[in-house]
Amino acid sequence: MCEMKPLPVDPRILSLATHVTESSDQDVPGLLLKLKDILSSVPSGSNESQKIKQDVYYYNLLQYCVFVLKQDYTKVSGGWATAADIAEVLSLCCMDVEVKEDPEEFYNKLLPSAVDNLLFLGKRLQARFVRTLKEEERNSFLNSFRTVTDAICRLCGRHIQLTGNVFQNKHFQQLLMTDDVETSTITMSVLQNILKVNSAILLQVAEKTLHCILDELVYKISSTSNPVIGNAAVTLLLLITESDAQLLTTLVTRYKGLQTLLSKQWTGKGFDRNLNRLLDLLYSENFKSGKTQRLHQAACLIQAAWRGFQTRRRLKQLPKAVTTLQRNFRAKRERELQSLKKQKEEESLRQHLQLQRQRAIRQFHERQLTLLEIVHAGQVDKHMHEMEVRAALTVQRYWRAFKARKNFHQQKKSLQQYKAAVVLQRVVLKFLEKRRKKKVYSLWKQPPSLSDEKRLVLQKKVDDYTKFHPASEMSEEMSRELHHQAQTKLAQYLLKRNQGRKAEQHRKALLAQVRTDVDHLMYVYLFPGRTDPEAEAPILWPSHEKRRLPGKDPDAGKE
């Protein structure tokens, strides 16, 4: 199947792109209008038309159309009509275009920017239409405004995702809020076309935007008597209410008396069919809301009766609750009084013990003074020296005991690890010894017996091999000599293997002994007061201090 050759680039597009890039800003809008003639020269919807639109996009002419919409056209040839024509060209170029390279740039950036610029252009045309007094100029601006709004409707009809951009645009909301009859009607027609294309957009926009649109439509109905605006506003409200029940509920609850206003002010104005459909929807929703309100009132009545019953029941139980509360309060106060009494008793006991301690210290000092009076003057120094030595020994004893306990608690974990290592070494050595004995006994293993079928297969292989590889003739003496040599080499191999195994066992035993000695030396270094790792742990003395016995301290005289 032959492949279709891609169409060549239209030379008119190439020439126009060259002129646009080389021209000034004021000349660009006039050059871009040539795209209208190029598009009209080919049938709409054909392959040539799609190829021209792709070339317009790839040569950035479509981007130029978007950018020039924000220019001031008062000094441009053709005026604001040129801007409206460019808006029409832009909408036509965005129809049925297939973007294969970087589609996100086209759909997420270019199209939303085009909608924003079109609405901005429409706002400027509407402002000039309102300010202009001449009839011809007003008609020109109104036609241009209608052209721009048609371009917006054409874009939103082809690209539904742009409807959200239109609703959220501030220029569109300003166009909808205008008091001018012509432009306001055109703007409401744009809104009507958008809702026909995508009615679900009202549920997707922000609540503030939705309320703004509804407020403006209801305001137009209530503030004007023009049947054109009234018809457009009623048609929009009918589309909104028919699109979703939630929007109908919002309209009824937000605008009380809307159905009365519609029936009194707009009946018999030429659009009774749409008006009656809207009134039927509003009355049906009012009936539902009234039924809901009655159900709500009934629910409130039931809740009030139930709460009154609960309140009366609590009031009946109130005396019992008060009695329980008083009992708990008195019990709590009694506990607090007992706690205060106990605290005072502990404080008085503490003061009493402190007085007894002070009295004992005073009596001790008095006895010392009495002894000093009794003891001879020559023996006072000796007696004081003995007292100091005894006190120093007592302080040293308590301090060393405290330090030994502290070191013992710190080294207790290391001691447990050492004991566990010794036990593991002992068990592993016994296990290895048993394995060695089993290996000595199981050096020779009888080969597994062969079945008869396997023996026949092996015999057949041996016969075939001997048949194809006949052995050389050898005498009986040579066979005996060869057998004797083989037995001698086998004996030498077995002797060397036994010697190697004995040497390996001796080396492993020496290595285990060296490890045990190293562990023993490390334990002696860590625990200098203990020689046997498996004996009961004695009192640990620091290695940098000498153990002093009470009464035999060599440094007692120095202290």
The answer on pLDDT for 336 being more than 90 is: yes
Instruction: Match 């997707």 to its residue by tokens.
Output: 204
CATH classification of the domain holding 178: 1.25.10
List the single range of 125-134, 216-225, 525-534 with lowest mean pLDDT. Answer: 525-534
More confident residue, 339 or 111: 339
Nearest residue to 267 via CA among 233, 242, 236, 231: 231
Cα 253 to Cα 263: distance, rounded to the nearest angstrom: 18
Mean pLDDT, the chain, integer: 79
The answer on pLDDT for 444 being more than 60 is: no
Question: Do residues 350 and 419 share a domain?
Answer: no
Binning pLDDT at 50, 70 and 90, where does residue 546 land?
very low
Cα 262 to Cα 287: distance, rounded to the nearest angstrom: 17
| Structural domains in the chain (count) | 3
The answer on pLDDT for 493 being more than 80 is: yes
Binning pLDDT at 50, 70 and 90, where does residue 551 land?
very low
Q: In this predicted structure, what is the pLDDT of residue 156?
A: 84
Cα 173 to Cα 187: distance, rounded to the nearest angstrom: 9
Q: In this predicted structure, what is the pLDDT of residue 288?
A: 62
pLDDT in tens, 142-186: 888 888 888 888 888 888 888 888 878 888 888 888 878 888 888
Question: Do residues 368 and 497 share a domain?
Answer: no
Structure tokens at 434: 């048993």
Structure tokens at 73: 């056209």
The answer on pLDDT for 342 being more than 90 is: yes
Contact, 159 vs 108, CB < 8 A?
A: no
Helix (H, G, I), strand (E, B) or coil at 33: coil
Percent share of the chain, pLDDT over 70: 88
pLDDT in tens, 259-274: 777 877 777 777 778 7
Q: Identify whether 482 is part of a domain.
A: no
Q: In this predicted structure, what is the pLDDT of residue 158?
A: 80
Q: In this predicted structure, what is the pLDDT of residue 255?
A: 77
Q: In this predicted structure, what is the pLDDT of residue 145?
A: 85
pLDDT in tens, 230-245: 888 888 888 888 877 7
Q: Identify whether 421 is part of a domain.
A: yes
The answer on pLDDT for 2 being more than 50 is: no
Q: In this predicted structure, what is the pLDDT of residue 434?
A: 87
pLDDT in tens, 10-25: 778 778 778 878 877 7
Count CB-CB contacts under 10 A for residue 537: 13
Q: Identify whether 236 is part of a domain.
A: no
Question: Do residues 331 and 421 share a domain?
Answer: no
The answer on pLDDT for 552 being more than 60 is: no
The answer on pLDDT for 487 being more than 60 is: yes
Question: Do residues 337 and 411 share a domain?
Answer: no
Average pLDDT, integer, range 346-354: 93
Question: Do residues 49 and 134 share a domain?
Answer: yes
Residues 6+ apart with CB under 8 A from 343: none
Q: In this predicted structure, what is the pLDDT of residue 339?
A: 93
Q: Identify whether 135 is part of a domain.
A: yes
Question: Do residues 76 and 175 share a domain?
Answer: yes
More confident residue, 248 or 546: 248
Q: Identify whether 468 is part of a domain.
A: no
The answer on pLDDT for 537 being more than 50 is: no
The answer on pLDDT for 210 being more than 50 is: yes
Percent share of the chain, pLDDT over 90: 11
Question: Do residues 421 and 325 share a domain?
Answer: no
Average pLDDT, integer, range 210-227: 82
Q: Which domain holds residue 535?
A: 385-428+491-548
Q: In this predicted structure, what is the pLDDT of residue 533?
A: 47
Binning pLDDT at 50, 70 and 90, where does residue 548 land?
very low
Full 3-state SS string of 443-489: CCCCCCCCCHHHHHHHHHHHHHHHHHCCCCCCCHHHHHHHHHHHHHH
Q: Identify whether 88 is part of a domain.
A: yes
Question: Do residues 116 and 167 share a domain?
Answer: yes
More confident residue, 6 or 189: 189
Contact, 542 vs 407, CB < 8 A?
A: yes
List the single range of 51-65, 491-505, 544-558 with lowest mean pLDDT. Answer: 544-558
Q: In this predicted structure, what is the pLDDT of residue 223?
A: 81
Q: In this predicted structure, what is the pLDDT of residue 7?
A: 59
Question: Do residues 163 and 75 share a domain?
Answer: yes
Q: In this predicted structure, what is the pLDDT of residue 464?
A: 87
The answer on pLDDT for 398 being more than 90 is: yes
Query: Helix (H) and strand (E) counts for the chain?
Result: 22, 0
Cα 457 to Cα 462: distance, rounded to the nearest angstrom: 9
Question: Do residues 424 and 329 share a domain?
Answer: no
pTM: 0.50
Q: Identify whether 122 is part of a domain.
A: yes
Question: Do residues 121 and 169 share a domain?
Answer: yes
Q: Identify whether 287 is part of a domain.
A: no
Binning pLDDT at 50, 70 and 90, where does residue 543 land?
very low
* Domain finish residue from 170, 198, 226: 198
pLDDT in tens, 283-296: 776 656 555 666 77
List the single range of 57-61, 419-423, 524-528 with lowest mean pLDDT. Answer: 524-528
Cα 53 to Cα 153: distance, rounded to the nearest angstrom: 19
Question: Do residues 362 and 390 share a domain?
Answer: no
Q: In this predicted structure, what is the pLDDT of residue 549?
A: 37
Cα 30 to Cα 79: distance, rounded to the nearest angstrom: 10
pLDDT in tens, 34-80: 777 777 777 777 777 778 777 777 877 778 888 888 888 887 778 88
* Domain finish residue from 146, 166, 198: 198
Binning pLDDT at 50, 70 and 90, where does residue 441 land?
low
